[in-house]
Structure 1
């Protein structure tokens, strides 16, 4: 188990963990968005409720979901260790500020962006995940198939302007976080080459724009509808 201890305690090992968990969470975001877009179907929530019921009762999906919580926690904990390590390595700040051209705005503020996202996740889990598992949500019958009316919970939340604002601002933080984290994760895992690095960078930019925008559009459309 020495290799595991070394991985968890060394800076390179922790960076690999950050990259691997980051890629897993990137994939999760893509899948999660696909399901959430069911909210915009004009069927009074039937598509989303059936989708949500399947996701919450399928054993394989639930196993992956538990793994997702673990990877989020691991990603947060390791990021804290790396941040503290960097601070200890240079306890005194640079007298001359680093030129903005040497690093992006998102890369210089990953800690702040990560904190905003973590707060958002807590709010999100309390408002939806907790209600789904422990709230008193009525069931609806769809051609003999019963599903909890989770659409009503989401619709009630997105009818409040401040919830919409929270989600849109949080998605902006996610976008900036991804704009640096996407490419950085692949680079950390050794996927850096003059031939395909530009493609990874382009894919990262597209992903960091389209996916958060997709999440942000949902509460906006539901609010105005």
Structure 2
């Protein structure tokens, strides 16, 4: 088992599995965040409160954190190792003959996304989890006013909106290669399937990148 994960295919398999796990999370996270555009914030606050208080989410949350950290550390390890052993860096070329800017710069994109993630967590997750956030009551339910926290930041700081959009674009570029590459590693590498996965990858990347970009733009222009 250890020998398999020390092999080239084993390393790619680890990156693929952790990457796909994070891609599912991004889709769920975007779905919840899009509720920021609905109504006066009650729908988003209820959804955010449900996600924070749901027992299943509390179990998944540390697994998600471990997945993020492991994916980032392992990608860094592989990149450094590949740069030392060969002149062509990680993901410089692809096995289907395609070479895109995203595939050549996966580590740079990943590093940029990681920096954005730290800023994002500090401004939202950390404040909601450990900071002091005003509460709001709907009927008999009292919960943190996550909507006020998020919308307030987007409305007050245009530069953070710009940073958020740039982060979303870089995330989309990272996913445009990572999505189909993950499935390719898992064995879906036939000519017919690979072409289909490339299309799905671009659609998924556009949905994620555009979806996360729309939110700060909405608050900047219309609130």
TM-score by length of 1: 0.91
Equivalent residue number for residue 120 of structure 2: 124
Equivalent residue number for residue 149 of structure 1: 145
SS at match of 2:191: coil
CA shift, 1:151, in A, is: 0.7
CA shift, 1:93, in A, is: 6.8
Structure 1 segment 1-225 matched on structure 2, within 5 A: 3=1, 5-42=2-39, 44-90=40-86, 103-159=99-155, 160-224=157-221, 225=223
Separation in 2, partners of 1:119, 1:8: 28
Separation in 2, partners of 1:120, 1:203: 25
Q: Which runs of 5+ in 1 are unaligned?
A: none
CA shift, 1:8, in A, is: 4.2
Give CA deviations for 1:178-206 in whole Å, capped at 9, x if unaligned.
11111100001111123322221111010
The count of aligned residue pairs is: 216
The structure with higher relative contact order (CA 8 Å, sep 6+) is: 1
Contact kept? 1:116, 1:173, Cα under 8 Å: yes
Separation in 2, partners of 1:7, 1:174: 30
Contact kept? 2:82, 2:88, Cα under 8 Å: no
SS at match of 2:199: helix
TM-score by length of 2: 0.91
CA shift, 1:61, in A, is: 0.9
Give me the CA root mean square deviation.
1.9
CA shift, 1:82, in A, is: 1.2
Contact kept? 1:140, 1:148, Cα under 8 Å: yes
Q: Which runs of 5+ in 2 are unaligned?
A: none
Separation in 1, partners of 2:119, 2:153: 12
Separation in 2, partners of 1:36, 1:172: 16
Separation in 1, partners of 2:133, 2:193: 48
Give CA deviations for 1:104-146 in whole Å, capped at 9, x if unaligned.
1011111110000000110011000000011111221112111
